[in-house]
Amino acid sequence: MSMETSCDYAGIESVLESAGAEYAAAESHGLICGMICAAGKAEEALWLEHVLGEGNTLSAAAQTARESLAELYSRSLLQLNDIELGLELLLPDDAALLYTRSQALGEWCQGFLYGLAMGGVRDETVSSGHVAEIMRDMFEISQARSDYPSSEAEEEDYMEVAEYVRMCVLLCHEELQPQQAPAQLQ
């Protein structure tokens, strides 16, 4: 399984669906990134149980999902520590409907918040700095939905929000894991 095909949104979504996972692709990636930001790394057994569901790790489909998710984890860890700030959020491509992309971005944010919490980050523990504000923004984004046809302006708005989320994740990583963050953010 190559990194190119197994770590794209459609590929991860497909293997998770086949495995009967609890989480979809975007939310899974958000969870993994949140745990990495909170703790500097994430124990595979912990996030895997949440993504696939308790006791759902033995089937062939679950093993395939585990392998794809392990590649996604490795890629995410590298990207969060990349001096080029090359983090890519696992979201549907631009050919998907805006509604689908917006929903996935909301799920990504929801997963990220859950990953931060699993890593020990709470509102009361991050009262200073940007993390508390980012957590509030991520919560708001996770609740937003678009139910109507998209216009060019809404497409631009989506792209701006997705880029804002990406930069917020990098900033969270910098604040919570400053010794590992890329030098450009320090």
* 86 part of a folded domain: yes
Range of the structural domain that residue 95 is part of: 3-180
Our count of domains for the chain comes to: 1
* 131 part of a folded domain: yes
* 44 part of a folded domain: yes
**Model pTM score:** 0.87
CB-based contacts of 112, cutoff 8 Å, min separation 6: 30, 31, 33, 34, 37, 138, 169
* 157 part of a folded domain: yes
CATH number of the structural domain spanning residue 80: 1.20.120.740
User: CA-CA distance, 76 to 81, in Å (whole number)?
Assistant: 9
pLDDT at residue 149 in the model? 61
* 186 part of a folded domain: no
Instruction: Provide the token pair at 112.
Output: 């990220």
* 185 part of a folded domain: no
Each residue's pLDDT tens digit in the chain (186 positions)? 333 445 799 999 999 999 999 999 999 999 999 999 998 888 888 888 889 888 887 789 999 999 999 999 999 999 998 888 889 999 999 999 888 999 999 999 999 999 999 988 876 666 667 888 999 999 999 997 666 666 788 889 999 999 999 999 999 999 988 765 455 544
* 151 part of a folded domain: yes
